[in-house]
Amino acid sequence: MATLSPADTPLGTPAPPFDPARGPNGLVVMFICNHCPYVKAVIGKIVRDVHDLAREGVGAIAISSNDPSAYPEDSFATMQRVANEHGFGFPYVFDETQEVARAYGAACTPDFFGFDRSLRLAYRGRLDDTGRSPKEGNRRELYEAMVQMVRTGVATAEQHPAIGCSIKWKSA
């Protein structure tokens, strides 16, 4: 079932202390997983946009917070394979305790958080308007917002919530 990311995290919110991949001009933190059709539809675009943002001085890290006991395709071994197959070139880490996803307020995969050079939230939303089916030629919303933030200090005010598979939380 599709889940929208909430719009209740105010811009300017500081990044939780999980920023080992930050660049001199900012950081993109993305919550993804291996099984989600929304992620699969944009995985190549994620790699392209993260690579292009690195040239702008923006670092990136991908995090999988899903419970692999419920979704074996989201196991760490599969994460490593997916990262290699797609040539990530950025860290893809496993949030075993799900504390990182909770700290960020992540709701779905993919879910994107763009931080400025001071690690203040500048963008929260989607990569683009692809949805579940691969689509080419659409606006690079995350990329454009982060480039604008690097060049002007402010990301675009037009930000759309991410839509994707819900984070697969562990049972209490």
CATH number (domain holding residue 145): 3.40.30.10
The DSSP letter of residue 165 is E
Q: Is residue 43 in a domain?
A: yes
Residue 171: inside a domain, yes or no? no
Whether the Cβ atoms of residue 15 and residue 119 lie closer than 8 Å to each other? yes
**pLDDT band at residue 159 under the 50/70/90 scheme:** very high
Domain that residue 42 falls in: 22-166
- One-letter amino acid for residue 35 of the chain: H
Tell me the C-alpha distance between 11 and 157, whole Å. Answer: 10
Total structural domains within the chain: 1
Is 157 part of a structural domain of the chain?
yes
Is residue 114 one of the residues assigned to a domain? yes
Cis peptide bond upstream of 110, omega within 30: yes
What average pLDDT is seen over the chain?
A: 91
Q: Flag whether 15 is in a domain.
A: no
Q: Considering the domain boundaries, does residue 149 fall inside one?
A: yes
Domain membership of residue 34 (yes or no) is yes
Q: 7-20, pLDDT tens digit by residue? A: 667 777 777 655 67
Q: What's residue 19's pLDDT? A: 63
Read off the pLDDT of residues 30-65 as tens digits, 9 standing for 90 and up: 999 999 999 999 999 999 999 999 999 999 999 999
Q: Classify residue 89 as left (phi > 0), alpha (psi -120 to 50) or beta.
A: left
